Amino acid sequence: MKILRSLATILALGTSTYAHAGNVLIVLSDSDRLDLKDGKVFKTGFYLNELMQPVKALLDAGHDITFATPKGMAPSVDRTSIDKMYFGGDEAAMKDSEAQLSELGLVSSDRSPVISLARVEQIGYDNFDAVYVPGGHAPMQDLLVSSELGKLLSYFHEKGKTTALACHGPIALLSTLPDAQEFVAKFETAGTAKEQTDWIYAGYKFTVFSNREEEMAKGLLGGGEMKFYPQDALTKAGGEFSQANAPFDGHVVRDRELITGQNPASALAVAHELLNRLK
């Protein structure tokens, strides 16, 4: 617990510690890329606002934060997400997020505070009150098949611990499938897979970056094409998908311990729901 508290102190950036502060684990991808069809590669990472808006909200509320990736490598920010449009057109808010990210040292190869999911397990899952997985395309490269993440999420599910994910982040829920590797491989090669009957999130209502949003945002991939869309895979696994009335509008779904946000515009609402659960 001393390690967790010392790390949290570093990350608190001078904010006061509240009497009932929670410990929130934020899980990010190790990857800085997404492999596309035909051998093409898209340079990516996490979306700036999807990470930093919830981080700011959590720290301002006095909560402790621990950052983790599967291997404990420093994550990467998707450079296309450093845009004021993801902050409601507020350039000052975007620059504040950039500055706080720099202060945290999160993407620095030599001073990142990120720990591995193996270390998280050593610390003990019960030392965390909630987990949050932001988006960007990177989770579709590794988090969806991470056995370490699948173990953590399965424990959180069993204990009813708050589990929040945004944009492409919900794809990480596939890591809890009995054979996530095979399921994902089928989707990558055939565009579909056998329906699942024993997924722990079967029947859960959820949202994720939608198929129609993927089609409208294809230009970001530089002419490349994703191997499959998260909406299709999560629905085939057994989830019940819903989306906003209009593409790119904010949309949050709450079902039992699960909180999911559809897109970058949903990040603040996901943070609000997460804070409510931590009260």
Q: What percent of the chain has pLDDT over 90?
A: 90
Segment 79-94 mean pLDDT: 97
Coil vs helix vs strand at 246: coil
φ, ψ for residue 17, nearest 5 deg: -95, 120
Q: Write out the E strands in the chain.
A: 23-27, 33-35, 41-43, 64-69, 115-116, 130-133, 162-166, 205-206, 240-241, 252-255, 258-261
Q: Judge whether residue 16 has pLDDT over 60.
A: no
Q: What is the pLDDT of residue 197?
A: 87
Q: What is the pLDDT of residue 173?
A: 98
Q: What is the pLDDT of residue 222?
A: 87
Average pLDDT value over all residues in the chain = 93
Q: What is the pLDDT of residue 20?
A: 57
Coil vs helix vs strand at 136: coil
Tens-digit pLDDT profile for residues 19-53? 457 899 999 999 999 999 999 999 999 999 999 99
- Global model pTM greater than 0.95: no
Tens-digit pLDDT profile for residues 213-250? 999 999 999 889 999 999 999 999 999 999 999 999 99
> What is the Cα–Cα distance from 218 to 278, expressed in whole angstroms?
36
- 182 Cβ neighbours under 8 A, 6+ residues apart: none
More confident residue, 8 or 57: 57
Q: What is the pLDDT of residue 10?
A: 38
Q: Judge whether residue 148 has pLDDT over 70.
A: yes
User: Residue 62: which region, alpha, beta or left (left: phi > 0; alpha: psi -120 to 50)?
Assistant: left
More confident residue, 192 or 19: 192
Residue 12 in tokens: 């608190």
Segment 242-267 mean pLDDT: 98
